[in-house]
């Protein structure tokens, strides 16, 4: 665990030492990567919920008491 923290700290220090233009480019790359990752997670969650719906595992209700009991 400590080695990972040291590697992370080294990466951060290296990034901070880069010129502003390169840091901005890295920021853009990371933002796009994070958005892509999040989109993949959303797509996977959608596929999983579709499978659960087909399997009859999902329950729907508008009754507050039933919703509380589902939690």
54 domain-assigned: yes
Domain containing 33 equals: 25-71
50 domain-assigned: yes
71 domain-assigned: yes
Mean pLDDT in the chain?
93
pLDDT in tens, 17-46: 999 999 999 999 999 999 999 999 999 999
CA–CA separation, 9 and 25 (whole Å): 20
How many domains would you assign to the chain?
Answer: 1
What pTM does this model have? Answer: 0.69
9 domain-assigned: no
CA–CA separation, 34 and 66 (whole Å): 36
6 domain-assigned: no
8 domain-assigned: no
69 domain-assigned: yes
47 domain-assigned: yes
């Amino acid at each position: 665990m400590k080695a990972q923290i040291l590697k992370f700290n080294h990466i951060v220090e290296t990034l901070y030492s880069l010129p502003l233009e390169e840091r901005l480019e890295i920021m853009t790359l990371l933002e796009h990567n994070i958005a892509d990752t999040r989109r993949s997670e959303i797509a996977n969650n959608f596929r999983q919920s579709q499978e659960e719906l087909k399997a009859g595992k999902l329950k729907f209700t508008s009754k507050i008491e039933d919703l509380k009991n589902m939690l």
